[in-house]
Amino acid sequence: MTKLLIVESPAKAKTITKYLDDTYTVTASVGHIRDLPKSNKKAVDIEHGFVPHYEISKGKEKVISEIKSLAKKAEEVLLATDPDREGEAIAWHIIQACDLENQKLKVKRIVFHEITKDAVNEALKHPRDIDNDLKEAQEARRVLDRLVGYDLSGLIWKKVRYGLSAGRVQSPALRILSEREREIAAFIPQKYWVIDADTETDKKEKITFTCAKEPTEEKEAEEILKRGKEAQWKIVDVKETKGKRAPKAPFITSTLQQAASSRLGFSPSRAMMLAQKLYEAGFITYMRTDSTTISGSIATHIAEVIKKEFGEKLYTPRVYKTKSKNAQEAHEAIRPTDVLKRFAGHNDAEKALYQLIWERTVASQMADAIVLKTRVIAEGGKENPEFTANGSRIISPGWLLADPRARGEDVELPKVQAQDNLSLLKIRSEEKETLPPPRYSEAGLVKELEKRGIGRPSTYAAIIKTIQERGYVEKINRSLKVTDTGEVVSSFLENNFAKYVSDTFTAEMENKLDAIADGQATYTKILEDFYAPFAKDVESKQDTEKITTLGDAEPHHKCPLCGGDMIIKLGRTGKFLSCKKFPECKGARTLEGEAMEGPKETGENCPECAKSLPVEKQGKLVERMGRFGKFIACSRYPKCKYVRKDPAQEEKAKTGVKCPECAKSLPADKQGEIMERRGRFGPFFSCSNYPDCRFNIKSKPTGKLCEDCGSLMMEGTKTIPERCSNKNCPNHNPHKKIK
């Protein structure tokens, strides 16, 4: 009996083929094969029960044809797409698009949460029909997102700017970031003084104490310093307490994204991409889960590893309670499929993520770490506040043996007793200011979305990626900063659609989608209850004023052309000051007040227009100012999209370092120079001969060559000033080399 097994990924198909005999043919759908049309509102028939009208995704005709052909040769078709709602929907789409229902063959669904031989063979023993509730829950999410996005985006095009958009879950995420920006803007810093005292015991051991009170007046700080210098210092009290540090639960999707971001510097989308590859290669369990469960069989193997590597006494079996009330308990936490395998992955990034997962999994079943915390209190003057010194050290590492990066640094204080005398070496004060709340990092935003019930584990990476790609948020170092455009769009939605971008509404909608999956609610009812009032609210805002005008500029900012008053406006590159008389007067300034010149003609004709237009209709090349500086463009833009960099900007971007790749094959006069460029993910450095030479590095070159491999060195961090640009060289990641 021949069987056709269909998965989503070619990599997964390759792995599974190794586990099955010749009676099975394994093929891949390569993800989704059907979707709603991108730009057609008729994609959803609202009047007849929100019926979606799907179309074959671009380029998938060949995949469908191949599946149909293979199905004709099989007696049974097994759909083994991912074990979640999206996977269930993909399986249903394969049946529909390939017309498998009308063929005389058996079509069944199987699921497995890890790609191992045992898991696949066990799944084959339990085939089932498509779970229509799961399929409809995913379909409801897709249709809901389309309706919200289409209607709100259309309104934003009219009221803000063409080409912008809004989303059901992305907009609440943008609102959270915008609220933090407003908190930062409204923050008023307060001065305070930190007072430290360096002291020495009779045994010549040094201890630094910090004043328990942080005075907010300089005079008070000076008085504490004065009394401290005159005082006889001594120990007042010593407190030692033992504490426990329990291991954290095994990874779920959100905690994996957070740990990968904070420890490895991976964005949520990159972490999920790497986890997907580890899953498809059979190294880890399914990476989209909100369950912290570990199966009994794997727990036995974890126990073996702990007893063998760390000692029998450190094994402590634990069961973690899943926080999400809608978690699918049939799923497991993200863990290695074979915990006996300490290292796995096809490249450094995959290996680093696998190691993170292995450490968290093993540590979760180990004994607590015992920490000794010490607090020493000193007296530095009768009228002065007390001074304290705090220390901590691990006296029994427990689970930290498996996860050493979670240890932190020991701060051990000398052994002292109450009434011991101290010699004051130096007492000093430092003026500081209170800081505003920090911007969210990607990991911080994932944590916040999870806490508020916005989205689901599988959507967090897509949410963060989308708001960055739309230009609403930019990543500065590791912080997410809302752009001017993002601020305006968020304010518009908050002012006009506060209900739909609120935490409560978004979380409640997720619960309703879960209810469809559980068979407790119907697809049509949920969408009807939502869409009728929503459409009415959107219609009621059609007559609101356009909001690219953000208010009056400060009175001292006058139009550079006519001297009139100015207003703050939102343009394609952010906020600027425009003359109130626009379009009669086109005077403009930057927010800082510098005059902005309009497009300057260069005197050249556009080479792109010359290819297809008569001379009288050809555009002229003009200088324009963009988000990343000056550039040259056609005066007919956007009808003609010819663009090139301004030569002056090009010269400014050069680093003075010759391209090492060009040096291998080109004469000196034709070799390129490394120059700074900007891409969708920020600045990078590449050869001026691009695209003929594609040499590029992430950081600015230092001009030196690596002593080990001869590659170009580039700027590093504060702790390691430079590192090799060759990823395969030990000097590329000196932290590992030092370790």
pLDDT for the residue 191? 95
My answer on whether 664 and 731 are in the same domain is: yes
My answer on whether 345 and 259 are in the same domain is: yes
> For 594-619, what is each residue's pLDDT tens digit?
887 666 777 788 888 888 888 888 88
β-pairing verdict for 712-715 and 233-245: unpaired
Give the count of domains, the chain.
6
The single residue listed with the structure tokens 């869409």 is 531
Residue at 138 is within a domain: no
Annotated catalytic sites, by residue? 286
My answer on whether 578 and 658 are in the same domain is: no
My answer on whether 84 and 42 are in the same domain is: yes
Residue at 140 is within a domain: no
- Give 537's contacts (C-beta < 8 A, 6+ positions apart): 497, 499, 500
Partners of 285 in the beta sheet? 114
Task: Report the 3 state secondary structure along 331-393.
Answer: CCCECECCCCCCCCCCCHHHHHHHHHHHHHHHHCCECCEEEEEEEEEEECCCCCCCEEEEEEE
CA 688 to chain CA centroid, nearest Å: 31
Residue at 613 is within a domain: yes
Rounded percentage of the chain residues whose pLDDT exceeds 70: 94
> For 628-671, what is each residue's pLDDT tens digit?
567 788 888 777 878 776 666 667 777 888 888 888 888 888 88
Does residue 737 have a pLDDT over 60?
Answer: no
My answer on whether 712 and 685 are in the same domain is: yes
Report the C-alpha gap between 497 and 550 in whole angstroms.
19
pLDDT for the residue 599? 66
Residue at 165 is within a domain: yes
Does residue 327 have a pLDDT over 80?
Answer: no
CB 97 within 8 A of CB 34: yes
Residue at 604 is within a domain: yes
139 burial via Cβ count (<10 Å: 0-12, 13-18, 19+): buried
Torsional class of 79: left (φ above 0), alpha (ψ -120 to 50), beta (otherwise):
beta
At 466, the amino acid letter reads T
My answer on whether 10 and 123 are in the same domain is: yes
Residue at 117 is within a domain: yes
Higher pLDDT, 593 or 198: 198
Peptide bond into 667 cis (omega under 30): no
Selection from 250, 257, 253, 246 nearest residue 299 by Cα: 250
My answer on whether 7 and 113 are in the same domain is: yes
pTM score of the predicted model: 0.74
Span 379-400, average pLDDT? 93
Span 194-200, average pLDDT? 95
Peptide bond into 691 cis (omega under 30): yes
Span 220-241, average pLDDT? 94
Q: How many CB atoms lie within 10 A of CB 356?
A: 21
pLDDT classification of 627: cutoffs 50, 70, 90 = low
My answer on whether 564 and 615 are in the same domain is: yes
Q: What is the CATH number of the domain that holds 483?
A: 1.10.460.10
Partners of 427 in the beta sheet? 197
159-179 burial: b if 16+ Cβ within 10 Å, else e: bbbeebbbbbbbbbbbbbbbe
Report the C-alpha gap between 356 and 528 in whole angstroms.
44
Domain ends where: 644, 677, 706?
644
Cα-atom radius of gyration of the chain, to the nearest Å?
31
Report the C-alpha gap between 715 and 723 in whole angstroms.
6
pLDDT for the residue 329? 42
Mean pLDDT of the chain: 88
Residue at 69 is within a domain: yes
Strand residue runs (E) in 57-103: 76-79
Torsion angle of the four alpha carbons 519, 521, 522, 525, in this order, in degrees rounded to the nearest 10: 180
Report the C-alpha gap between 389 and 618 in whole angstroms.
75
Q: What is the CATH number of the domain that holds 208?
A: 2.70.20.10
My answer on whether 121 and 12 are in the same domain is: yes
Residue at 496 is within a domain: yes
Domain ends where: 587, 611, 644?
644
pLDDT for the residue 739? 40
CB 580 within 8 A of CB 558: no
pLDDT classification of 372: cutoffs 50, 70, 90 = very high
Range(s) of the domain holding residue 23: 3-130
My answer on whether 686 and 571 are in the same domain is: no
pLDDT for the residue 626? 64
My answer on whether 632 and 659 are in the same domain is: no
> For 524-581, what is each residue's pLDDT tens digit?
999 999 999 999 999 999 888 888 888 888 888 989 888 899 998 887 777 889 998 8
DSSP single-letter state for residue 616: G
pLDDT classification of 735: cutoffs 50, 70, 90 = low
Selection from 130, 201, 44 nearest residue 209 by Cα: 201
Span 201-219, average pLDDT? 94
Report the C-alpha gap between 348 and 353 in whole angstroms.
9
From 136-140, 453-457, 565-569, the region with the lowest mean pLDDT: 453-457
My answer on whether 13 and 91 are in the same domain is: yes
